[in-house]
């Protein structure tokens, strides 16, 4: 599909409600499915990734019904699970795969994980080796489907904290299901720490006790998940960041509502980064308003905020001087090589941008031209390209922009609601 995006003169403006947090929804769904009691998730908008997690839990035996405002969840009845191999289609959701792989292993289920897009090529080490060492049988990680059998055992686990926080979160979700003591020692500095903190908060909300001392998590099992009867999925800072950054690029303010300023989501840092760029940022109890200021280049350490790199790169183009982004090497292993994708798309629009080993160097302070670009099969690259139209003299024509369905199916409708123009053409 070809999507042509044109920004209005003066930029986007208005008020928009943040969509529910994908990260929060994944964790809440899994905890609810493992619980001893039924519960309800209020999640007014659902993406392909969230639906993938719900579908996998349903295949494992949870009674999950999707309604207009979210999901009702009847937990997995483990005593009624039939033997045999279950097929789990995770789509392109790396979060679904990485969180559920240890959980399914802890349940002792045999499964075939069906993966789409670039996911079969994205690394599973060192989680893969730890699962095998603790009782699991896994097929070749790049062979589709990924096969799992065996029973995960409690014991001593070790992971590099700098590889993927989702590996850590998956094990922490699995540990309470195991009989005996399980420990997880981090052998390197934890990156994307806020996502692990979100997992710990979800576990605490379900009455699970875990300890973290030094570099080691420990859990005595088995423990019983007891999910709250109702969970309201909080607003998504990662996706709201596209609109907040758009507010810094136009002539009029833009407001996002439904955001928790005390959220554990790491991408809440976008408001502090925008202030550092020089944008005007105003907050109240549940909303953020951003308007343009005298933007200047800054240095950004992206170790805990990798998902913000694409849209912050667009802000950098509007900032005088040079912006340097570092600590983002893991972006090369996302739905695309995001460092290469950001440089390619913005470069085609006229930006002066280059990649480094772990980041980007961006020269700002110049207008861009419209051009044809490819979304690289990546939802955040598609949204970045559309937002970059605010800096372009012509339209931005995006091939593969339907990738936004992975996390934000309403993105282009909301772009239009804020004053933008979108035309879609099937090939």
Give pLDDT tens digits for 16-74: 999 999 999 999 999 999 999 999 999 999 999 999 999 999 999 999 999 999 999 99
In angstroms, what CA-CA distances link 338 with 52, 254, 379, 383?
23, 27, 11, 13
For the beta sheet containing 299-301, the strands, ordered from the edge strand earlier in sequence to the opposite edge, are 299-301, 322-326, 360-363, 352-355
Rounded to an integer, what distance in angstroms lies between the CA atom of residue 286 and that of residue 104?
36
CB 267 within 8 A of CB 308: yes
- Decide if 412 is inside a domain: yes
CB-based contacts of 130, cutoff 8 Å, min separation 6: 157, 158, 159, 171
In a domain, 226, yes or no: no
**Containing H/E element for 289?**
strand 287-291
Please choose, from the candidates 6, 2, 3, the residue with its C-alpha nearest in 3D space to the C-alpha of residue 394: 6
User: Based on the domain organization, do 242 and 382 belong to the same domain?
Assistant: yes
| H helix or E strand, kind and range, residue 386 | helix 379-388
Same domain, 40 and 14: no
Catalytic residue, candidates 267, 307, 374, 378 = 307
Domain membership flag for residue 176: yes
What CATH number should be reported for the domain holding residue 105? Answer: 3.65.10.10
Q: Which conformational region is residue 192 in: left (phi greater than 0), alpha (psi within -120 to 50 degrees), or beta?
A: left
Sites in the chain below the pLDDT cut of 50: none
Instruction: Report how many helices (DSSP H) and strands (DSSP E) the chain contains, helices first.
Output: 12, 24
For 312, the token pair is: 């912050």
On whether residue 228 sits in a domain, the answer given is no
Read off the pLDDT of residues 95-129 as tens digits, 9 standing for 90 and up. 999 999 999 999 999 999 999 998 999 989 999 99
The pTM (predicted TM-score) of the whole model is: 0.92
Pair of tokens at residue 18 = 């943040």
278 within a domain of the structure (yes/no): yes
Active site includes 307? yes
Do 74 and 168 belong to one domain? yes
Q: Which residue, of 193, 220, 247, is where some domain finishes?
A: 220
In this structure, are 366 and 244 located in the same domain?
yes
For 194, 283, 341, the CA distances from 209, given in Å and listed in that order, are: 19, 34, 41
Would you call 194 helix, strand, or coil by DSSP? helix
The reply to whether 161 and 182 lie within a common domain is yes
- Tokens found for residue 205: 């909300």
Q: Are residues 203 and 269 in the same domain?
A: no
Which 3-state string (H, E, C) describes 65-122? EEECCEEEEECCCHHHCCCCEEEEEEECCHHHHHHHHHHHHHCCCEEEEEECCCHHHC
* Residues 197, 257 share a domain: no
Task: For residues 59 and 170, state if they share a domain.
Answer: yes
Q: Are 66 and 38 in contact (CB under 8 A)?
A: no
Residue 410, domain extent: 2-19+236-425
Domain check: are 106 and 197 in the same one? yes
Query: Using CA atoms, how far apart are residues 270 and 288, in angstroms rounded to an integer?
Result: 11
Residue 371, Cβ density class (10 Å: 0-12 exposed, 13-18 middle, ≥19 buried): middle
Of 220, 249, 267, which one is at a domain's C-terminal end? 220
Q: Cα separations (Å) of 80 from 76, 83, 105?
A: 9, 9, 17
H/E segment holding residue 380: helix 379-388
Sequence-ordered list of residues with C-beta below 8 angstroms from that of 195, at least 6 positions apart, any chain:
23, 165, 166, 169, 266
- Residue 130's H or E segment, with its range, is helix 127-133
Q: Are residues 8 and 32 in the same domain?
A: no
Q: Two tokens at 148?
A: 């799992």
In a domain, 229, yes or no: no
Q: Considering its fold, how many domains does the chain have in total?
A: 2
Q: Are residues 133 and 205 in the same domain?
A: yes
Do 155 and 258 belong to one domain? no
Query: What's the pLDDT at 90?
Result: 97
Domain limit, last residue, from 220, 248, 271:
220
Q: 392 - beta bridge partners? A: 368
């Amino acid at each position: 599909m070809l999507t042509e995006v044109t920004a209005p003169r003066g930029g986007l403006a208005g008020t928009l409600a943040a969509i529910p947090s994908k990260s929060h929804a994944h964790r809440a769904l899994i905890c609810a499915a493992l619980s001893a009691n039924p519960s309800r998730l209020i999640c007014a908008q659902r993406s392909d990734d969230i639906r993938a997690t719900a579908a996998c839990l349903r295949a494992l035996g949870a009674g999950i019904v999707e309604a207009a405002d979210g999901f009702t969840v009847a937990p997995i009845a483990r005593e009624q699970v039939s033997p045999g191999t279950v097929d789990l289609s995770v789509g392109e959701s790396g979060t679904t795969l990485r969180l559920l792989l240890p959980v399914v292993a802890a349940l002792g289920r045999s499964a075939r994980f069906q993966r789409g897009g670039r996911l079969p090529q994205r690394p599973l080490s060192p989680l893969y080796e730890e699962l095998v060492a603790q009782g699991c049988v896994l097929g070749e990680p790049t062979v589709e489907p990924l096969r799992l059998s065996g029973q995960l055992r409690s014991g001593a686990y070790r992971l590099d904290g700098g590889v993927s926080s989702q590996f850590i979160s998956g094990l922490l979700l699995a540990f309470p299901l195991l009989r005996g003591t399980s420990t997880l020692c981090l052998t390197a500095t934890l990156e994307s720490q806020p996502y692990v903190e979100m997992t710990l908060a979800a576990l605490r909300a379900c009455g699970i006790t875990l300890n973290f001392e030094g570099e080691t998590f420990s859990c005595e099992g088995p423990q019983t998940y007891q999910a709250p009867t109702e969970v309201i999925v909080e607003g998504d800072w990662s996706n709201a960041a596209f609109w907040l950054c758009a507010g810094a690029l136009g002539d009029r303010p833009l407001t996002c509502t439904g955001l928790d300023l005390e959220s554990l989501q790491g991408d809440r840092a976008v408001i502090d980064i925008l202030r550092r760029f020089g944008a005007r940022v105003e907050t109240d109890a549940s909303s953020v308003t951003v308007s343009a200021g005298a933007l200047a280049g800054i240095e950004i350490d992206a170790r805990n905020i990798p998902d913000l790199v694409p849209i912050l790169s667009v802000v950098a183009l509007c900032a005088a001087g040079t912006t340097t982004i570092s600590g983002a090497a893991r972006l090369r292993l996302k739905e695309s090589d995001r460092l290469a994708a950001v440089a390619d798309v913005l470069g085609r629009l006229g930006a002066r941008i280059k990649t480094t080993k772990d980041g980007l160097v961006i020269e700002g302070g110049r207008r861009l031209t419209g051009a044809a670009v490819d979304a690289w099969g990546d939802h955040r690259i598609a949204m970045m390209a559309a937002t970059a139209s605010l800096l372009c003299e012509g339209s931005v024509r995006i091939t593969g922009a339907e990738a936004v369905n992975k996390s934000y199916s309403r993105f282009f409708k909301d772009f239009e609601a804020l004053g933008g123009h979108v035309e879609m053409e099937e090939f």
